[in-house]
Amino acid sequence: MKLNTVTTKQTEKLFKTHFAKIGRYKPAYVQEAPEAIARKMGYIGLPELSDVYGVMIRQVQRARIDDHLETGTLSAALKEAAMINPEHLLRLPAEYTYMHITIKLFCENLKGLRVLQLASNFGPYLHFLKEVEGANVSGVDILKAAAEYGQEHGLDVRETSSAQLPFADGEFDLVFSKNFLDQSYLSVFGRNCSEEIVVPTLNQVYRVLKPGGHFISELENLPLPGSAFGHPFETAEHYSLEVTCENPLFRGIKVFTK
């Protein structure tokens, strides 16, 4: 399968097949996660977490306007706020519809396949892949409470950095990531995020993929493929102009193959 040979007819067929199924998938595991994880983080519940996050963001905004915080202090405040952003706990499997369509193009039958998600949080879409598609899934995230919630419910979510994946060489058939390996998001974790996080993560993804395995990226500003950019993958595949003109949301997807 080459992504640029996929037709609008193919994507429409997959959309009709999977849109409703993934959109309706809201098990107790997903619905109860925001409150449960907020409590694990030491808050009374999600409303308190949201209030604290709102206060932190307003303080950072005022500091930027008044310019009274040193760069290091401001960066630390941004990082702390990013870590407790309640939006991450409200993710639904339906947000991965275009990712899912792309995955099904390359892996029609996911049963038993080893699948890894980077920055998975508690893994709402991973839960769908496991329970509905029968995939053998794992996720990694730096939020301890989210990883613990997943583990308590039988989902393999590890508390670790994506730049240090705790998996064997060639373990996974598929690795995917959405809205994570991007300068605008990762910049709060350090000035040289490409050097410190993105490139090491790509090298780790390449290592844990089986030969012929795929890494699918959605809405991420990755460095260009090729060793000159520290990129372990040789090329990136994109949807054709036919597909992206019909549905622009496919433009943000790239597929890399080992």
Output the domain CATH number for residue 127.
3.40.50.150
pLDDT of 196 reads 81
Beta carbons of 237 and 255 less than 8 angstroms apart: yes
Kindly state whether residues 106 and 223 are assigned to the same domain.
Answer: yes
pLDDT of 114 reads 98
Kindly state whether residues 53 and 122 are assigned to the same domain.
Answer: no
Kindly state whether residues 157 and 209 are assigned to the same domain.
Answer: yes
Kindly state whether residues 47 and 143 are assigned to the same domain.
Answer: no
Instruction: Return d(Cα 215, Cα 116) in angstroms, integer.
Output: 9
Kindly state whether residues 73 and 184 are assigned to the same domain.
Answer: no
Beta carbons of 99 and 178 less than 8 angstroms apart: yes
- Relative orientation angle of helices 97-106 and 8-23, to the nearest 10 degrees: 120
Instruction: Return d(Cα 86, Cα 93) in angstroms, integer.
Output: 16
Last residue of a domain, one of 88, 112, 132: 88
Kindly state whether residues 147 and 203 are assigned to the same domain.
Answer: yes
pLDDT of 1 reads 79
Q: Provide the residue range defining the domain that includes 116.
A: 3-30+91-257
pLDDT of 153 reads 98
pLDDT of 75 reads 66
Backbone angles phi, psi at 35, to 5 degrees: -65, -45
Instruction: Return d(Cα 212, Cα 128) in angstroms, integer.
Output: 24
Kindly state whether residues 96 and 83 are assigned to the same domain.
Answer: no
Task: Say how many domains are in the chain.
Answer: 2
Pairing of strands 114-118, 136-141: parallel
pLDDT of 68 reads 52
- In a structure prediction context, what are the per-residue pLDDT tens digits for the chain, which is 258 residues long? 799 999 999 999 999 999 999 999 999 999 999 999 999 999 999 999 999 999 998 987 887 656 554 555 556 777 888 889 999 999 999 999 999 999 999 999 999 999 999 999 999 999 999 999 999 999 999 999 999 999 999 999 999 999 999 999 999 999 999 999 987 777 666 656 767 889 999 999 999 999 999 999 999 988 888 877 778 999 999 999 999 999 999 999 999 999
Kindly state whether residues 24 and 61 are assigned to the same domain.
Answer: no
pLDDT of 70 reads 53
Percent helix, percent strand, percent coil in the chain, to nearest 5? 55, 15, 30
Cα-Cα-Cα-Cα dihedral sign, residues 38, 117, 184, 73: positive
Instruction: Return d(Cα 124, Cα 206) in angstroms, integer.
Output: 24
Kindly state whether residues 125 and 233 are assigned to the same domain.
Answer: yes
Beta carbons of 124 and 56 less than 8 angstroms apart: no
Last residue of a domain, one of 88, 106, 131: 88
Beta carbons of 144 and 45 less than 8 angstroms apart: no
Kindly state whether residues 71 and 176 are assigned to the same domain.
Answer: no
Kindly state whether residues 77 and 156 are assigned to the same domain.
Answer: no
Query: Between the CA atoms of 12, 257, 206 and 182, what dihedral angle is there, to the nearest 10 degrees?
Result: -50
Kindly state whether residues 67 and 152 are assigned to the same domain.
Answer: no
